[in-house]
Amino acid sequence: MADPAPRFQQLLPQGAPGELEAAPLLDEMFAALSPPAGRPLTLVNFVASTDGRATVEGRSRGLGDDGDRSMFHGLRERVDAVTAGPMTMRVERYGRILRAPERRERRLARGQSAEPLACLVSRSGRLPTDIPLFGCPEARVIVFAPATARADLDGLAAQVEHVALEPDSLTLPEVARRLRADFGVATLLCEGGPTLFSALLAEGLVDELFLTLAPLLVGGGLAAAITSGAPLPEPVRLRLLWLLEREGSLFARYGLG
Ligand SMILES: NC(=O)c1ccc[n+]([C@@H]2O[C@H](COP(=O)([O-])OP(=O)(O)OC[C@H]3O[C@@H](n4cnc5c(N)ncnc54)[C@H](OP(=O)(O)O)[C@@H]3O)[C@@H](O)[C@H]2O)c1
């Protein structure tokens, strides 16, 4: 028998029902979302330690628990497309986006495709083509990369569509525009990493941040935070939309803008 779904205590907004699972919360949230014109509504999901680190020994795996996984997969189950930076896909060994058949069945019942598109953006054209995702015949992967990347994409088992853009026009606003206009993506989930998240923030392309704060201290340098690179032109103010708790982890949903 399958394990029972994790249950969360909703701390904010006040007056919300006590314990609940991720599914009804996310169903209600997605029903109320309204994508902006010309690009997908973009949700970003991260897990961090309480001292603000996004990795343990170079990967996020050691940070998230069952509650984090249920939120992570619950978001994947409901969006039109999932993206992550090439480095994240490489390090985390990305595979099929929705492995659980029951999640794919629920998508079909909602009138969506069986699984979300996977989307990869690379300006260098150095693609992680050896990850399991590209070996999965059911996966549909949209790759935004220069024309030179074409040779690496031939012969892969996944259904890959290469949108060839040269570095000057390979910008995140252009990718967002094309995802909406050419691929019908109204909701996009970005799963990091810090470099891609920072670039999306700098372009004003992030609508919501889902941040799991794990009850762990990891130590080490500040290099491994959820953002990276140069400071943003000015601090981005977040609106706390909900706060959940489960077994000491805090699950915050923030709105931007
Ligand atoms: N805790 C968490 O929730 C979490 C989530 C995700 C990742 N992580 C961790 O984060 C690490 C990987 O993150 P990362 O920051 O090194 O890399 P990343 O954000 O995964 O990927 C960075 C790459 O994105 C590509 N890119 C495309 N458009 C870009 C743009 N406009 N600006 C900048 N880059 C763009 C570039 O690839 P090209 O050079 O090919 O152009 C760049 O090198 C891993 O250790 C992973 O485990 C943690």
Buried b (16+ CB within 10 A) or exposed e, 55-77: bbeeebeebbbebbebbbbbbbb
The owner of tokens 């029902």 is 17
Q: Ligand 1 atom closest to Cα of 47?
A: 3
Average of per-residue pLDDT across 27-50: 97
- Please tell me the pTM assigned to this model: 0.98
| pLDDT score at 77 | 98
- Is residue 44 within 8 A of residue 193, CB to CB? The reply is no
Q: Is the CB of 120 under 6 A from ligand 1?
A: no
Ligand 1 pocket member 143 (CB < 6 A):
no
Is residue 46 within 6 Å of ligand 1 at its C-beta?
A: yes
Examine the pLDDT at 246 and tell me if it is beyond 90.
Answer: yes
Tens of pLDDT, residues 182-210? 999 999 999 999 999 999 999 999 999 99
